[in-house]
């Protein structure tokens, strides 16, 4: 699983950028089952990443937004466009 970044914005103006680590996914799956990208799943994962403060519902009341970034593409990924690839140096023969 490629590393992803999660941004949590709170109603008091704080913003947390957190890396989604394997331990977070494992904790989620142990507690709730397979992770999906449905809103409730993303919110519960954000709660786990933030350290499970309070009860989930109480914590959620303090949240304005949660964004889960797309996984970073690996070098050589077939979906990498020509614009994303470095331009080769001209050969000097």
Nearest to 47 by CA among 35, 63, 34, 33: 63
| Domain count along the chain | 1
Please report the pLDDT score of residue 84 as a whole number.
Answer: 46
Range of the domain at 50: 4-71
pTM over 0.75: no
The answer as to whether 82 is a domain residue is no
The answer as to whether 61 is a domain residue is yes
The answer as to whether 24 is a domain residue is yes
For residue range 50-91, list pLDDT tens digits in order: 998 889 999 999 999 999 988 765 454 444 334 444 444 555
For residue range 5-44, list pLDDT tens digits in order: 999 999 999 999 999 999 999 999 999 999 998 999 999 9
The answer as to whether 84 is a domain residue is no
The answer as to whether 92 is a domain residue is no
Cβ atoms < 10 Å from Cβ of 36:
10
């Amino acid at each position: 699983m490629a590393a992803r970044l999660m941004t949590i914005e709170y109603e008091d103006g704080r913003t947390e950028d957190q890396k989604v680590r394997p331990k977070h996914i494992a904790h989620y799956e142990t507690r709730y089952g397979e992770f999906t990208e449905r809103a409730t799943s993303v919110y519960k994962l954000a709660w786990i990443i933030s350290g499970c403060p309070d009860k989930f519902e109480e914590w959620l009341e303090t949240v304005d937004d949660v964004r889960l970034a797309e996984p970073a593409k690996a070098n050589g990924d077939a979906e990498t466009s020509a614009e994303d690839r470095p331009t080769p140096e001209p050969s000097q023969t």
